[in-house]
Amino acid sequence: MAKNDGATIIKKYANRRLYNTGTSTYVTLDDLATMVKEDEDFVVQDAKSGQDITHSVLTQIIFEQEAKSGQTMLPVSVLRQLISFYGDQMQMVVPSYLEHSMAAFAKEQERIREQMASMVGKSPMDVMATSQQMFGEQTQRNMALFQEAMKMFNPFAVMADMQAKSEQTGSEQGTGNAAEGERAGDDLQTMRDQIAEMQRKLDRLG
């Protein structure tokens, strides 16, 4: 089975046909959607140039899924918000935020499924109250992720937060505990080094 770093290679030809090199068969976008749902990793390449076009093909899959009746998951309001971020300074933060949010949602999907199953037979008011609580908690977790993502792009804020925590720790321990104070200082220096390394990576990405 032809693979690239463990991923099956899908070749896309000029006639828009997709060829699965792993199974040696032609496939459709619906087949690729099934592969995604089954957690089978694949990379789509242009058959002529070898260029990685996975992103555009996955986007096309979403477009076709959204076009199917009753399967819309992206409300107009969300689409408008996404479009508004293109070209904005927040554009570099949005992908990381969405990725972490979806990962967190995926980790808790079993719990969410159980909560949704428990709503069967309940009154509309009870369902609404449970739903608001469930997604309210998820929103809070997403906001926490967003704040962490923002810190990545504002290392000075992280430094100030660490400095405040260090000073608070030193104050609580008392001036007589020199060993603990020295350890706190070492931890702060380690964090500073980590932030500096993160900033260098961001500069290289920029």
- Residue 78 pLDDT > 80: yes
pTM (whole model) above 0.85: no
CA distance 65 to 57: 12
Question: Which helix (H) or strand (E) covers residue 3, if one does?
Answer: strand 3-4
Among 105-109, 121-125, 194-198, name the one with the lowest average pLDDT: 194-198
Q: What is the pLDDT of residue 73?
A: 86
Among 106-115, 130-139, 166-175, name the one with the lowest average pLDDT: 166-175
| Cross-strand pairs, 22 | none
The mean pLDDT value for 72-98 works out to 88
Q: Residue 146 carries which side chain, given as an amino acid letter?
A: F
The two structure tokens encoding residue 198: 């993160």
CA distance 71 to 99: 21
CA distance 5 to 50: 15
Provide the pLDDT confidence category of residue 104 given band limits of 50, 70 and 90. confident
pLDDT digits (tens, 9 = 90+) for 166-186: 566 555 555 555 555 566 566
The two structure tokens encoding residue 139: 């929103």
Contact in structure between 29 and 60 (CB atoms under 8 Å): yes
Please report, rounded to a whole number, the percentage of residues in the chain having pLDDT higher than 70: 56
Mean pLDDT of the chain: 76
- Residue 206 pLDDT > 50: no
Q: What is the pLDDT of residue 8?
A: 95
